[in-house]
Amino acid sequence: MDNIDRQIINQLQDGFPVCPAPYQHAAQQLGISEAELLARLQALLADGTLSRFGPLYHAERVGGALTLAAVKVPLERYDEVTDIINAFPEVAHNYQRNHVLNMWFVLATETPAQLQQALADIEQQTGLPVYNMPKINEYFVGLRLEA
Amino acid sequence: MDATDLALMRATQAGLPLVPEPYQALAEQLGISAEQVMARLVAMQAAGSIRRIGAVPNHYKLGYRYNGMTVWNVPDVHVDALGAQIGQLPFVSHCYHRPRHLPEWPYNLFAMVHGKSLAEVDGQIAQISAVLGEFNLGGEVLYSTRILKKTGFRSG
C-alpha cells in the first residue's frame, strides 16, 4: 500500500459520485487516471485491504432484518458448531470472542420472518440456546478509518 | 423500495462493477436505463436506505488490530442519552442499545472501538467509562480472537 492507495482509501469511504463516469470523476480528484484508479481498486479488493466497494445498505430501511446473536459453545464442540452455524447463508459474519459467550454472529435476511426461522433452526441443529440481541436503538453507525 | 430497487440492491450487494460506466453496466443487467439506476441510487441515499457509497476497508489490513466490542450495563432510563454521547466519540464505529439476557448477560449498551495498539484501545475504554460516570454499573470488552466467517455482505 503506497500513498496513492492511502489517498484512495481515505477519500473514497463515502460520497462516491453518481454520474455516468464516476471513476473518472473520482480519479481526477485524486490526480490519477481512471484506468489506474480501477486497477488499484481491483488490487485493494483482491488483497483484502477493502472488503467491498459500493453502496452500503441500511438493512431495516430496505425491509430486511438484522441481528447480533451469541452462543455459549462447549470448547470440545467448537469446530462442529462453527461448521453448522457458518453453513447458514443468513450468517454474514461470525467471530470467536474471549468470553463465556464465545461465538458471536450477525444474521441478515430479507424479511423478519426469515430471521426468526434461521434462529430457530440454529438452536435446533446445534442443540444450544441462542442469545438473540437485536438492536433496540441505534446511536451511531459509521467511522472513517485512516489508512 | 419497489421490486426494481430490490433488484438494484441485490445487483450491488457484492459491490459496484469496476468498469468505467458502472451504472450503465447495472442498467443493462436490470433492463432499465442508466438514468433510472442513478436516480434510484440518489433517492435511496436521500431516504437513508443507502448509508453511503464507497470503499469499505478491512480494519485489520489498515493496522487496526484491536477491535473491541465494549459492552456496558447502564440504567435503561439513561441508555438513550448515554448512547448518543458514546456514539459521538471519534473512535466508536457502532453504538447500539441491545437487550440484556439476565442473569448471564447484564449489558444493554454496545460500542465497537478500534485501535492500532492495546494501549490505544485501553485509553478509548477509559474515555467511555468517564462519559458513563456514575451510570456505569459494569462493563466488559470482548475482543475477537478469530474470524470464523466474513462474507461480502455489508450492512448495518
Q: What is the pLDDT of residues A31-51, one digit of tens each?
A: 999 999 999 999 999 999 998
Q: What is the predicted pLDDT for the residue at B153?
A: 53
Position A64 confidence tier, pLDDT thresholds 50, 70, 90: confident
> Is the predicted pLDDT of residue A19 greater than 90, yes or no?
yes
What pLDDT is stored for residue A69 in this prediction?
Answer: 98
Same domain flag for A35 and A84: no
Q: Are A115 and A84 found together in one domain?
A: yes
pLDDT digits (tens, 9 = 90+) for B82-103: 999 999 999 999 999 999 999 9
- Per residue in B106-135, pLDDT (tens digit) is 999 999 999 999 999 999 999 999 999 999
Provide the pLDDT confidence category of residue B147 given band limits of 50, 70 and 90: confident
CATH code, A92:
3.30.70.3460
* A9, A92, A101: residue with CB nearest B57: A9
Distance from CA of B7 to the nearest CA of A (A): 12
Domain count, chain A: 2
pLDDT of residue B121: 95
Q: Say whether both A91 and A119 belong to one domain.
A: yes
Q: Is the residue at B154 inside a domain?
A: no
Tell me which residue range forms the domain holding A30. 3-46
Averaged confidence pLDDT in chain B? 93
Q: Cβ of A66 under 8 Å from any chain B Cβ?
A: yes
B64 and B40, same structural domain? no
Q: How far is A112 from chain B (nearest CA, A)?
A: 15
Together in a domain, B132 and B70: yes
Distance from the Cα of B28 to chain A's closest Cα (Å) equals 14
- Tell whether B68 and B117 lie within a shared domain: yes
Long-range contacts of A73-82 (CB under 8 A, 24+ apart): A73/A102, A73/A103, A73/A128, A78/A102, A78/A103, A81/A126, A81/A128, A82/B148
Question: Is residue A141 a part of any domain in this protein?
Answer: no
H helix or E strand, kind and range, residue B149 = strand B139-150
**Contact A75/B at CB under 8 A:** no
To which residue does cell 500500500 refer? A1
Percent of residues, chain B, with pLDDT higher than 70 = 97
Residue B153 lies in a domain: no
Residue A140 within any structural domain of the chain: no
| Per-residue pLDDT, B152 | 55
CB-based contact (8 Å) between A99 and chain B?
Answer: yes
Calculate what percentage of chain B has a pLDDT beyond 90.
82
State whether A72 and A34 are in the same domain.
no
Residues B31 and B76 in one domain: no
Q: Are residues A76 and A126 in the same domain?
A: yes
Best residue in B2, B96, B107, B128 for a mutation probing chain A (most A CBs within 10 Å): B96
pLDDT score of A47: 95
Residues in chain A with CB shorter than 8 Å from the CB of B59 are 145
Q: Are both B133 and B102 inside the same structural domain? A: yes
Q: What is the CATH number for B32?
A: 1.10.10
Q: Per the structure block, which three cell numbers stand in for B94?
A: 457502532
- Percent with pLDDT over 70 in chain A: 100
- Among A1, A29, A53, A138, the residue to mutate for chain B (most B Cβ within 10 A): A53
Are A69 and A128 members of one domain?
yes
Mean pLDDT for the stretch of residues A55-84 = 94
B69 closest CA partner among B116, B103, B114, B119: B114
Pair A91, A127 in one domain: yes
**Same-domain pairing of A110 and A71:** yes
Residue pair B121/B115 in contact by the 8 Å Cβ criterion: yes
Range of the domain at B12: 3-47
B84 and B130 share one domain: yes
Between positions 114 and 133 of A, the ones with CB within 8 A of B are 131-133
Residues B69 and B17 in one domain: no
Q: Where are the beta strands (DSSP E) in B3-60?
A: 50-57
Angle (CA) A60-A143-A116 rounded to 5° is 25
Is the domain of B115 the same as that of B69?
Answer: yes
Q: What is the pLDDT of residues A109-120, one digit of tens each?
A: 989 999 999 999
Crossing angle of helices B79-87 and B118-132, rounded to 10°: 140
State the residue for C-alpha cell 470464523: B148
Question: Are B66 and B138 members of one domain?
Answer: yes
Place A147 in a pLDDT band, splitting at 50, 70 and 90.
Answer: confident
The reply to whether omega before A134 is within 30° of 0 (cis) is: no
If asked whether residues A36 and A13 sit together in one domain, one would say yes
Q: What is the pTM of this model?
A: 0.86
What's the number of domains chain B is made of? 2
Q: Mutate which of A57, A67, A135 to disrupt the B interface (most B C-beta within 10 Å)? A: A57
Residues A126 and A69 in one domain: yes
Specify the CATH number for the domain of residue B83: 3.30.70.920
Same structural domain, B23 and B67: no
What mean pLDDT do residues B3-14 have?
Answer: 93
What is the tens place of the pLDDT at every residue in A4-14? 999 999 999 99
Under 8 Å between Cβ of B69 and B125: no
Can you give the pLDDT at residue A110?
A: 86
Residues B66 and B13 in one domain: no
